[in-house]
Amino acid sequence: MQRSPEATRFVLVAGTTETARRDGLSAAGADPDLLSTTPAADAELLTYGRPVRTDTVPVSPSGCPTPALVTRAVRELVGFDLTVVDGGLAEPTGAPTVSVGAGVGRDIGEQDPVPTAYGAFEAARQFGRRLPTNELWLAETVPGGTTTALGVLRALGEDAMVSSSLPENPVERKRAAVSEGLEASSLAPGEAAGEPKRAVRRMGDPVLATLSGLATGALETDTPVTLAGGTQQLAVAALVRHTGYEGRLGLATTSYVADDPTADLRASAAGLGLDLTVTDPGFDASDHVGMARFVAGEAKEGVGMGGALALSDRAGVPMAEVRERFAGVYDDLLESDATDAEKSPASGGSG
């Protein structure tokens, strides 16, 4: 095997926002303490294929695993390079991480929920400028992140709606949280248009600040960027557009997000001028419990799942092989970890 600095590189930004502690916002709802571990666990799963410092594989009470297992399965098949950036982790991770100075995000209802946003954006931007790669795929894991994504979209004056890791999108709860946040930040909707760092500091989370900085830096140096994820990545795309960048930008997501009627991803992506790739993992062809939960509308996306599926598709890996590998990863981890899995409420990745 030869490794070239010009390969495809996946960057996973893993972090937290206390917004996830609000009732009923995330599939990771049962226990806020375990929820804050999900990004650290996702980073380990993608890096090593198993938990190292964390104890559990994030799985929802109904058995939906973190989408990190799908992305990991693809990584085992396709072999992309991986860099994890600390976008405000609350718990230690055994995955190696790059620091950009992002701290834990506070609740969206506070006046200044992401005080590290400016610094993290700029450090991530410098890192994105210099990171050697031919193409950059950006992924996220931040429970509660669709609510902060909605907050950023509203602050920028973008009318896109966000999806959910829950089968029933708690749209009203999200809107209420965003209204509370706008009031606390003394912002009218659209008032932060053209001011992406202000929007993400007042209404977002540290993962969004870091991702938009990384994308901006990479694009400034002509590295193609694909945002791997769902409606949280729409917020990243909006932040990048509000820096003034008008060039190409990709969004790669799953069919579960693209088909979610509570968000109109295709229209929003078109409105932001994104090159959209939607990939269906074909989980409805299986009766595997992990796949069935996705088909039922849980999780939908996260930890770069849609981007990973797009990469495997591009590499010519049959989707049946991805499903088989995912089932293998799931069975290995959750058979040996059945007791712990019962205790973990999080479904990882998307919020």
Residue 204 near residue 247 (C-beta atoms within 8 A): no
Residues 83-112 that bind a second copy (CB under 8 A): 83-85, 92, 94-99
Residue 51 vs 65, nearer CB to a second copy: 51
The HSE-up count of residue 229 (CA atoms within 13 Å, CB side) is 37
5 binds a second copy (CB under 8 A): yes
Give me the 45-84 binding string for a second copy, x by CB under 8 A, dash otherwise.
---xxx-xx---------------------xxxxx---xx
Sign (positive or negative) of CA dihedral 29, 211, 240, 315: negative
| 3-state secondary structure (DSSP) of residue 84 | strand
Residue 51 vs 196, nearer CB to a second copy: 51
For the bound state, the minimum distance from the C-beta of residue 337 to a second copy, rounded and expressed in Å, comes to 13
**Of 272, 260, 270, the residue nearest 235 (C-alpha):** 272
Residues 127-186 that bind a second copy (CB under 8 A): 127, 130-132
Give me the 203-222 binding string for a second copy, x by CB under 8 A, dash otherwise.
--------------------
For the bound state, the minimum distance from the C-beta of residue 47 to a second copy, rounded and expressed in Å, comes to 8
119 binds a second copy (CB under 8 A): no
319 binds a second copy (CB under 8 A): no
The HSE-up count of residue 309 (CA atoms within 13 Å, CB side) is 30
Residue keyed to tokens 């937290």: 16
- For the chain, helix (H) and strand (E) counts, in that order, are 15, 7
Q: What is the largest CA-CA distance in the chain?
A: 55
Q: Residue 12 pairs with which residues in a beta bridge?
A: 84, 139
Residue 45 vs 155, nearer CB to a second copy: 45
Q: Which residues are at the interface with a second copy (CB under 8 A)? A: 1-5, 48-50, 52-53, 75-79, 83-85, 92, 94-99, 126-127, 130-132
